[in-house]
Structure formats: structure tokens, C-alpha cells
Amino acid sequence: MGYVRTGGMSTAARRRRRRTALVLTAMVLVLAGVFAYAGAYYQGWLPGSEEAAQTTSSPTETDAGLQPEDVVVNVYNASGVPGLAGRTAEAVTARGFEVGSVDNDPENETIEHSADIRHGESGEEAALLLQQEVPGAELVADEREGPEIDLVLGDAFEELPELPSDDSEATAEPED
């Protein structure tokens, strides 16, 4: 009897059981952490998760009932080109939108890209509808109340292309 056992288990068996318990506990904790992180990200509790939620919406998700004549657009010039807001307001009106005010940008911001479409929460669908008509325009959410939106023209803005008129179809037909 040169070897004495304590507690009915060998030392190797106790180590194996302890190691298994630690590994399983660690795996459960890691899995719980992954689920907690995913839930927090999905709920928007983490920094950067709100941007991801905003980028998932696309212009094709606009409400089928919203028409251009239901949208009031203020056209503001933030570029140095005189008369640009007036010409753009006429082009926006030709596309069926209602134009509210036409002026220089009241916020006096410098916009180097094409244009910004400023909107509040209730004007997001209207902004998406206008964005389809204004190439290169970026949506900018602000704290405004109501559905009215602002189209702010930047330095890189190029005038909106003219809409094809019905007269061009008539002249394209051959005459006898």
C-alpha cells in the first residue's frame, strides 16, 4: 500500500473535471457576451450603430403614396454662383415639387460637394424622394419639426438637367 487515494478520485481525474468546468464556463460567458453585444448594437445603444441603421435605408423604400406635389422644398444657395438657387427652384418645380423659399443659405455653411438635403424626422421620405432627382445630394438630418425640407446647393452642384418635353416626341415623328 504505497499509494493512498483521497476522496475516491485520482489527481488526474480531478484536474480533468476542473478543466472541463472552466472551459464550459468560459464558452457560456463568451456566448452571452456576443449576444449582449449584438442586442446592444441592434438597439442602437453603441456608438456607430445609429449610422449603420441609417445607411440600410435606400431611396427605393419611399412610401408609394408620397408624390412630388406633396413635398415643400426650400432651395438655398451655398455656392458662389449668383442665381443658381432661382434656376434650380424652377427645375425642381418642373419636376412637380412645391417650392417654398428661394434664398442664400441661412446657415452660411460651406458645402464643397454637390448638395445637401436637410430634413427632420417627418421629412425623411420627402428627402429620399428629392434625392432621386438631385444627383450627388447627401441627406442631412436635423432637429426640425414638420415635413418641409431644404435643398442646399454646394460648390460642386451642376444644374439639374432639363426634363424632356412632349414637343420633342411630336417632332421626332416623320412627316409625309
In whole angstroms, what separates CA 104 from the centre of its chain?
Answer: 26
Burial of 50 (0-12, 13-18, 19+ CB in 10 A): exposed
One domain for residues 42 and 86: no
pLDDT tens, residue by residue, 20-39: 999 999 999 999 999 999 98
Beta-sheet pairing, 149-153 with 115-119: antiparallel
If we measure between CA atoms, which residue out of 76, 72, 60 comes closest to residue 131? 60
Question: Residue 14: phi, psi to the nearest 5?
Answer: -65, -40
How far is residue 115's CA from residue 154's CA, in Å, rounded to a whole number?
Answer: 5
Give the pLDDT of residue 6.
57
Set of cell numbers at residue 148: 418641409
One domain for residues 24 and 42: yes
One domain for residues 47 and 70: no
- pLDDT beyond 60 at 56: no
In whole angstroms, what separates CA 141 from the centre of its chain?
Answer: 9
One domain for residues 19 and 99: no
- Asked whether the beta carbons of 136 and 115 are under 8 A apart, the reply is yes
For residues 80-91, average pLDDT:
89
Q: Please indicate, yes or no, if residue 73 is contained in any of the structural domains.
A: yes
Give the pLDDT of residue 2.
56
More confident residue, 77 or 162: 77
pLDDT tens, residue by residue, 126-169: 999 999 888 889 999 998 888 889 999 998 888 887 777 655 44
CATH number of the domain bearing residue 121:
3.30.70
